[in-house]
Amino acid sequence: MKERGLLIVLSGPSGVGKGTVRKEIFSQNDANFQYSISMTTRKPRAGEVDGVDYFFKSREEFEELIKQEKLLEWAEYVGNYYGTPVDYVEQTLSEGRDVFLEIEVQGALQVRKAFPEGLFIFLAPPSLNELKNRIVTRGTESQELIDNRMKVAKEEIIMMDAYDYVVENDRVDLACERINAIVVAEHCRRERIAPRYKKLLEVE
Ligand SMILES: Nc1ncnc2c1ncn2[C@@H]1O[C@H](COP(=O)(O)OP(=O)(O)OP(=O)(O)O)[C@@H](O)[C@H]1O
Ligand SMILES: Nc1nc2c(ncn2[C@@H]2O[C@H](COP(=O)(O)O)[C@@H](O)[C@H]2O)c(=O)[nH]1
């Protein structure tokens, strides 16, 4: 039977750079991991594509998915639903491939319960001022939404102790290096690589 893949959860406050870091990791890693595309009821931002950035759903459609237990986790975040399709995650892990989730903190804590063996990484900003500066500079949110996201961010930062690792996103290249190193180390620790080397001891 194939060894199950590793479930990697990258979480942290809005604007810290989760999406930026995740895209950079995927561009370097030649798809070592599979990205789980989330469902959301948020309206697409300029340039966002349905089925690439998110699966965009109405509230009714999302509530139906909740009812049918199609989501591994879900959360209502600043007025919209966000959730992870359970079938994709289960199927990919059972094929022995690693799955990468990029989700907010309430959802990550639900995943922790369902997958205690997952790898939970909290991406932290260098400071709250820099976090605010990043959301403002991104230019995608109204002032009211920025204020709401910053309020939630303070509650999320308190939860960082619930994660296996905290990685500071001071520079994107350094944050990616740290996350890649953590994933490699976790694979080794879980002896998913080591058994392959046992072959070296097989004498002909
Ligand atoms: N290390 C960094 N230094 C400076 N700016 C950064 C860094 N990482 C990301 N940014 C910028 O910060 C902004 C927010 O980044 P991004 O959209 O990736 O955050 P996020 O955590 O995915 O946000 P959300 O949770 O709201 O989707 C973007 O404009 C991005 O270019
Ligand atoms: N609990 C979940 N949170 C998710 C999921 N997909 C994304 N997110 C997080 O929501 C906020 C807001 O995202 P934005 O795209 O509107 O800026 C952010 O922290 C995302 O990481 C999910 O499936 N479940």
Give the ipTM of the model, two decimals please.
Answer: 0.98
pLDDT tens digit sequence for 6-51: 999 999 999 999 999 999 999 987 667 899 999 999 999 999 999 9
Whole-model pTM: value is 0.94
Tokens coding 162 = 């619930």
- C-alpha of residue 19 to centroid of ligand 1, in Å: 7
CATH superfamily of 7-36+97-201: P-loop containing nucleotide triphosphate hydrolases (3.40.50.300)
SS3 content of the chain, % helix, strand, coil (to 5): 50, 20, 30
Q: Which are the contacts of 106, defined by CB distance < 8 A and separation ≥ 6?
A: 75, 77
Cα–Cα distance for residue pair 73/84, rounded to 1 Å: 6
Please report the atom of ligand 2 found closest to the CA of residue 53: 15
Tokens coding 49 = 């594509």
- C-alpha of residue 65 to centroid of ligand 1, in Å: 29
Name the residue of 20, 22, 152, 177 whose CB sits within 8 Å of the most ligand 1 atoms, as the mutation to test its pocket: 20
- C-alpha of residue 153 to centroid of ligand 2, in Å: 12
Residue 102 beta carbon below 6 angstroms from any ligand 2 atom: yes
pLDDT tens digit sequence for 141-187: 999 999 999 999 999 999 999 999 999 999 999 999 999 999 999 98
Q: Is 107 annotated as a binding residue?
A: no
Cα–Cα distance for residue pair 58/19, rounded to 1 Å: 23
Residue 110 beta carbon below 6 angstroms from any ligand 2 atom: no
Residue 121 · residue 9 · CB < 8 Å: yes
Q: Characterize 12-33 residue by residue with b for buried, 16 or more Cβ atoms within 10 angstroms of its Cβ, and e for exposed.
A: bbbbbbbebbbebbbeeeeeeb
Residue 172 beta carbon below 6 angstroms from any ligand 1 atom: yes
Q: Domain spans of the chain?
A: 7-36+97-201
pLDDT tens digit sequence for 55-114: 999 999 999 999 999 999 999 999 999 999 999 999 999 999 999 999 999 999 999 999
